[in-house]
Structure formats: structure tokens, C-alpha cells
Chains A and B, each alone.
Chain A
Amino acid sequence: MAATAETVKTVKSVTDEYKHGFVTDIEVERAPRGLNEDVIRFISEKKNEPAWMLEWRLKAYRTWVERFLPASDPTWARVTYPQIDYQNAYYYAAPKTKERPKSLDEIDPALLRTYEKLGIPLKEQEMLAGVAVDAIFDSISVATTYKEKLAEMGIIFCSFSEAVQEHPELVREYLGTVVPYADNFFATLNSAAFSDGSFVYIPPGVRCPMELSTYFRINAENTGQFERTLIIADKGSYVSYLEGCTAPMRDENQLHAAVVELITLDDAEIKYSTIQNWYPGDENGKGGIYNFVTKRGACRGKYSKISWTQVETGAAITWKYPSCILQGDNSVGEFSSVAITNNYQQADTGTKMIHIGKNTRSTIISKGIAAGHGQNTYRGLVRVLPKATNARNYTQCDSLLLGDKCGAHTVPYIEVRNRTAKVEHEATTSKISDDQLFYCKQRGLSAEDAVTMIVNGFCKQVLQELPMEFAVEAQKLVGISLEGSVG
């Protein structure tokens, strides 16, 4: 842990606070400000999309305008923010290049430097770590590494736009089948205006040999980012996918409304891990990302499994509920979450476990940490439908408070319609005690190191679910995001 403390210090010495708060100066091509059918046509045309794709976008747009917009943003979550002016944002921004780069050598060096600062091993020689990265820079996917190697195994890992061109049959078959285009305010907005994202298909019986990873980054000013990810694990396959997110420091708020859909067929497994470190705003709550994300997975096949692991340390507001629809008999859903709110950050996050098939099992582990004036809410639904005989759920929600101006809230919804189901819910709330802090200090640790260590201990159960190379990163983030929370 001393290594962690040291990293925190190093990071602090490089920039004062937010490590990823730099802006890359490159030329950007944008759609006109605001959202209307013309802008959607513009986006679709830029991407050279087939007619069915444009139609799908337009259907979503019309639903958004007619059904959702009049009713305004969802208000049931425990978050507050000023009304977003949806007509004042850009919905498409792309680095200007004459043509799409064919290899890394053709990519703007400024872009590559940005990724280097972020610590993404984009260059081939740095790829030995075994991470294949699909890097999203604002709206277009810049480079997809390792693609060919994976292709030899029949694995498709590419940008969403590319998938629309190269694998339209797969996209058409699965797109919107887990998160329908009319699902909710933000998902519908995404369905209309999504810019790019990642697409993964793992063929039957294949175990993906490396972690697949997407690094999202919002760069251009006043740009909403609406990426869309679709992952399909065919029968008996396995994939572990990681997304990491950062954004530059800006005074105004930026909207990030992504959609992620996961599908597992018989005996398949998807492990989806997120490290979310969007700019959280400054210590007075100015600026920061609105992270309004819809993530859902469908365990379609028997004995299939989807596990979500998330470490949410950034964003001014987080509104997300990675969920599992357990359709296949004996399928398994897991949700493990660490959410940290410091300063004026707000998080309303949790999951939905929908038990449809027989013998379906789900586990929910939520660790919420609130510091400063942060507000941290766990909101989760466990629903057992009449046919889900022997369904089983275990939920554990732990909250840790630092200081006396923050809040932790737990809102579990449990709906059981089958008598054989077993559902358990446990919740605790605790504070870091003076005894613990003094004990650590007496052994030479600073208050900051002590808090980092204690909080990491509190989160351990979740952090150990992350792929190894990212668990270390996550531990550091926990420390960085709690800076200034103890006197």
C-alpha cells in the first residue's frame, strides 16, 4: 500500500488534482449544435450507415421527442441538477482526418500522446500486457488493436460503426434487444444520437484469451458522448471486458449517456468491469460529467452468466443500474460495485436482477463511500417472476461515511412472485473511527494513507473481482478520489 501512497503523491505532483484533466488540441469536425432529424441524418451519413440503421435512429428520436422530452428527465433518482439544455450541445464531434487511419502510424501524434498520458498501451509493442484496446476519442473509434489476432479465433472486436458496416446481420439481430430504443429518457436519446462504441462477438466455444478493453474519453467542449456497446457471447464462450473512462476538466457540465447491451447464450459468460473516473467537478461542485448510463445484460441461455463489476469514483452525477435479465434456466447474475462520492458528487446507482428462469441465482455486493458533501444512494431491484422456481438472491449493501456532511442511502426494491424463492438482504452503515485512524498514525501512516488503506479494505470484496492489472489502478483511484476528505 505504500506503493499506492507513493503513486497518489506522484500523481498529485504532476497535476494538482485531477490527473486526466488536460485537453488535446486537435482539429475537430462537428455536427451543428442541437439535436433534430437533420443532425441525426448528418451523423448517420458521416458514418455511411445503411438505411435500417438510420430508420432505427429516427424511430428513437421521434419517441424521445414525443414521449420523453415533454415529461422531462427522470426524477425518481436521488440526484439534483439544473435542467439540461439538450439543444445547446453538440451531438457529433470527430477528430478531423481525411480518411480513417489504417494503422497506428497514420494516427495524429497529438492523439497518441493523449492516450499515452492516460496510460493506455496503444502501440503494438506495449500491447504485450495482453490488453486489446478499442479507443474511443469523442465520437469515432481511433484504433482497434489486436483485432487481427482475435479475428483468427473468430472473435469480432471492433468499433460499433465498423460492425454496422462489416457485420450488419449480427448488429440487426441483437441491437436493442436488451435495451429497447424506447427504454428510457437517456437510452432513447442515445439510440437516436449514438456516435460510436464497441462491438464484440465471441463465437461458440471460444474463450477470449485476453481482456478486451475500451477507453472512453471526452475531449471536445460541449460535446455529449453517446457511445453504445454491444457484446454477444455465443454458446459456451467466455469474455472479460473492461471499460475505463476519463474526461478533461471543464467548468461546464458535460453529458455522457451511454448504452451497453450484453447477451449470453447457453453456457456462456461475460465479465464486464468498469473503472469510471470521469471528471467529478471541482471541490465546490462546479463542472463535472453527468454520467447517465443504461447497462443491461440478458442471460438468454441456460447456465449462462453475466457479472458486472464497477468502480465509480468520478462524474459529478452518476445514474446507472447495470442489470441482469436471467432468462435461461440456471443462469447467474452478479453485480459488485464500489461507488465513491466526495465533495459535491452525487451517485444513484445499483442494479436490477430479474429472475425469469428456474434455479436462477443473483448476487449483489454494493460498497458506497461518501465523503465531503457527497450523496451516495444504492437503488436496487430484485424481481422474481412466477416461473422462477428456486430463484436465489443475496444482497449486501455496505455504506461508509467520512465526515458529517455526506449522506448514504439504501433503497432496495424486492418483488417476489414465487414461493420457492429465497431472497436475502443485508445492509450496514459505518464510519471510519478515530481509533482506526490513530492506530494507523501510530504506526507511521499519514491520515490520507490511513483513509486510503481503510477504504480499500472496505472495498476489497469488490476490487478483487477486477482483472488483476486493473485492480491496482482501482486501488490508486480510491485514494485519489478521497483526497482532501480528512483534515
Chain B
Amino acid sequence: MLEIKNLHARVDGQQILQGIDISIKAGEVHAIMGPNGSGKSTLAFVLAGREGYEITQGEVLFEGRNLAEMKPEERAREGIFLAFQYPVEIPGVSGMNFLKSALNVTRKYRGLSELDAIEFLKLAREKLKLLGMDEKLIQRAVNVGFSGGEKKRSEVFQMAVLEPKLAVLDETDSGLDIDALKIVANGINTLRNPDRAMLIITHYQRLLNYVIPDKVHVLAEGRIVRSGGKELALELEDKGYAMLDSADANAAA
């Protein structure tokens, strides 16, 4: 579903990604781990098409299409979803209204009928129930006055409603206490299915105790330095990112 080939990208003239190769098939969950400043969030924004994140070399194919040729909203409508690390507030716009509009542009793009307010509310309630979340999440203005945990839950809820083909979760676990982490992890697991690929970006291993990845990639200084199974995450937890230095040393040797 997603082919990242020798991806180089820069932000504000600074080269951040220095050659990344990842291939994710439908149904797979990959985790990307790495220390601060390794380029994790840059990768997320490059995939979503944020302005100012420039691909300088290599390419990203989504279902065979070159992402560089698609505008951010087109990528979203094609089924790429980014759960933001820092979801932004939109005062005065209710979550319900926002998400209904987003869902309907996507449905329209795919040739499906648009949902009216009642149909949407029904769908939203089903998803909230599925995720064990509260309805007030969509009654309030988008992210306005939300706690850190509420923001992350809201992102997972939006994902549930929009049903993307590829979900990129950018540090969806950061800043959560253990209970909130479980709710979010449970949400992600619920949304795992054979048609959906997920890319989980995280600094810590703890989310991966609850969401078991098929593959783990370790990112450092804009490169994938290790790839492996779920046990790689545990190894990182055990040894810390310092182990990468020796890994680099090994690779160089």
C-alpha cells in the first residue's frame, strides 16, 4: 500500500530525511521509533503533504500513485489520515460539524452519498461506543479547551469515522497517563483490520505493549538504522537509544 523509496526531504532548507525505505502492506502495523530530532514528525508531515516539507530525492507511492503529485486534501480523500501530535484548536466550529464536513467531502470524492446530520450523528455515536468515548467530544468546538488526553482521543475518534486506508499516528501516546493510553491503544486495536495499514510514530515503547506492531523501524538522523520485529522495541526499551551508537559502529565496521 505504501512504498517509501530512498526518501530525502528538507524543511526550511535543512536536510532532515536522508534516505528512507519502508514498505507497508495492507493490514500491517509498523512502528517507527527514534530519539527526538531523528525526523519522525518530518516523515509524518511529508506523507501528509504539509507545505514547506520538500522531497528532494526518492519517492513515496501510495497504492502506486506518486504522493508528490497530490495535494494534501487529495491525499486525505484518497485515504491517508494523520493523527496529529499537536491537534490545533478551531474556535467556534463544533467537532460534529467539522467531522461531518470532512467525512462528506471524502464520501463525495469516492462517489458515495453524503450523510445528513441525523445519519452522521448515528454513525458518530456508533464509533464513540466502539471506542468507549464520550459524546461531548463532538459537541464542543474542535480541540478547544481539550486536555492533552482528550485531543489524542479525538484524533483516534476522527480516524474511526473517516476510516482511512493508511493511518499515520504521530506520537499519539505522548503526554497520556496510563488510563488514557489504554483507551487510545484500545481504539487503535479496534481499528486494525486487513484493509488498513498503520504507521505508528512513537518515542517510547510503552504504546507497543498494547498495540503489537508487525514491524519496528528505528530512525536516527534521518535514516532507518534498524528494522525488525516487535522484539526490537523491547530491545530499545532495555538498552535505550544509546544502543544505536554501537549499531552504527557495527555497521561502519
Residues of A participating in the B interface, judged by any CB pair closer than 8 Å: 1-2, 5, 433-436, 438-447, 449, 453-454, 456-461
Contacts and interface: CB of A to CB of B under 8 A. Distances in A.
A457 B141 contact: yes
B88 A446 contact: no
Summarize A's interface: helix, strand, loop or mixed: helix
Interface of B: 48-51, 71-73, 76-77, 81-82, 84, 87-88, 90-93, 97-102, 104-106, 108-109, 114, 141, 158, 162
Nearest to A463: B92
A461 B92 CA distance: 8
A454 B93 CA distance: 7
Contact of B105 (A449, A457, A458): A449
B78 to A, nearest CB: 9
A443 B88 contact: no
B114 A444 contact: no
Contact of A2 (B82, B87, B90, B100): B100
25 contacts: A1-B98, A1-B100, A1-B101, A2-B100, A5-B105, A434-B51, A435-B88, A436-B88, A438-B48, A438-B72, A439-B90, A440-B90, A441-B76, A442-B48, A442-B76, A443-B98, A443-B102, A444-B76, A444-B106, A445-B101, A446-B73, A453-B97, A457-B92, A457-B93, A460-B92
Nearest to B158: A443
Given A443-B98, A444-B77, A461-B92, 4 more contacts: A1-B97, A438-B50, A440-B102, A442-B48
Contacts of B104: 2
Contacts of B162: 443-444
4 residue pairs, one from A and one from B, having the closest CB atoms: A457-B92, A457-B93, A443-B102, A2-B104
A458 B101 contact: no
A388 to B, nearest CB: 33
Nearest to A444: B76
A444 B90 CA distance: 16
Contacts of B102: 440, 443-445
B92 A433 contact: no
B88 A439 contact: yes
Q: Which of B81, B82, B92 has the most CB of A within 10 A?
A: B92
Contact of B101 (A441, A442, A453, A461): A453
Contact of B98 (A434, A438, A446, A453): A453
A442 B82 contact: yes
Nearest to A367: B92
Nearest to A460: B92
Nearest to B72: A441
